[in-house]
Amino acid sequence: MAVAAALLLTTAGAVAQERPATEDGLRIAIFGDSGAGTPDQKAVARQMRRFRSDLRHVLLLGDNVYFTGQAKRFRAAFHDVYAPFLSAGPNGEPPVRFHSALGNHDVKGCEVSPDSEGRLAPDRDAYSWRAEGCDVEEQLADPAFGYAEGRRYYTVDLQDAEGRLLAEVYVLDAGTLPSEKHPDRLDPGQLAWLRESLQASHAREAQTGLDPWRIVTLHRPIRTPSAKGYVFGKGGHDEEDVLIQTLGSALVGPEMLGPDPKLQAEMRPMLEKGHVDVAFAGHNHFYARLLPDEFGVRHFVSGGGGIAVYEPVKSSAPVASGGGFHHFVTAVLTPERFEYCVIDSLGRIRDHGWWTHASGTAPDEPLSDADRRRVCGR
């Protein structure tokens, strides 16, 4: 089935169970490929302000500062656009906490810099200066971006108003993970950290009985439909970033962007063994929600935060919903349900749904009318 802009709303299914509108939940927002300072980025931020009263966290999926992550662009690409969220809200709401992942454009001026034993540090020392300038140190140190302890990969615990743990977010640095473009990048320290962190999470679950949502965020998608590649200024990635990908059994040339086999081979077993619920990624400048994989893991691509967008194209990826439009994802988390809504830069609802811990590989259910109004705001 071809993926087109018209493929906007969720799969059909049984009538969703309604939750009382007064029941508490934690609202978050998720998006990537935003930091361009463009009118489209500002339009997405304006739509996000509709939820300022109860929005508590933003998961930023990388390419936070185009085009080379330079510190002189932080204000125009990030601080000015998100100023209404970085300070207290108009009715005394607390500042929204951003939790960022590094994208390829955030480290465009950097070289990966292993130590004498071939290891990569968990912080700024993993990167070194390149000719055009490497400002990743400044981004990791800027508290507004939310890198925990200045680390390029880290964990965030999300709690509700009563202090209950609702979700654990595992933020990854995809640029140092293996890929078709960089097959020699293994970053064993990051992979060991993720594996051990997930094991510790399940040990806590066994002791406490709490089963939080386990969310992975990173820039390069683990599962994604393919996309047409363009030159920046005309709608997409520059040729330097285009990977040679496999699409089904066919080798696809550099005009396409799609799933990365090496990244999949490394990460998918880890997500399955760690019982990760959902992975959010950017990099491809469109929206795509894939059907749950054979392990019940959900995958979203949300790369429409502000830079020029393009369309996903037909591929082997089982896409439930998608299209080339600027957007953000807002989600409301409770212990029982993960509810989400995708809103574009004009305020239109493009996708919505929910699942539970017991949903497994079943397709997501659409929100009921009452739940849609509560989660989507209309």
What is the C-alpha to C-alpha distance for residues 34 and 186, in angstroms, rounded to an integer? Answer: 27
Beta strands (DSSP E) in the chain are 26-31, 55-60, 97-100, 110-112, 127-129, 154-159, 165-171, 213-218, 227-228, 245-247, 250-252, 256-257, 278-281, 287-290, 298-302, 319-323, 327-333, 337-344, 349-356
- Per the CB < 8 A criterion, the answer to whether 195 and 148 are in contact is no
What is the C-alpha to C-alpha distance for residues 341 and 368, in angstroms, rounded to an integer? Answer: 12
pTM of the model: 0.88
Amino acid found at 289: R
> pLDDT (tens digit, 9 = 90+) per residue, 35-44?
999 999 999 9
Cis peptide bond upstream of 67, omega within 30: yes
Report the 10 Å Cβ neighbour count for 84.
16
Angle of helix 188-208 versus helix 261-273 axis, rounded to 10: 20
What is the C-alpha to C-alpha distance for residues 237 and 310, in angstroms, rounded to an integer? Answer: 10
Band of pLDDT at residue 333, cut at 50, 70 and 90: very high
**So where are the chain's domains?**
26-376
pLDDT at 237: 47
> pLDDT (tens digit, 9 = 90+) per residue, 187-241?
999 999 999 999 999 999 999 999 999 999 999 999 998 876 543 333 334 433 3
Assigned fold of 26-376: Purple Acid Phosphatase; chain A, domain 2 (3.60.21)
> pLDDT (tens digit, 9 = 90+) per residue, 51-74?
999 999 999 999 999 999 999 999
Q: Is the pLDDT of residue 356 over 50?
A: yes
Q: Tokens standing for 252?
A: 């696809």
Mean pLDDT of the region 5-32: 53
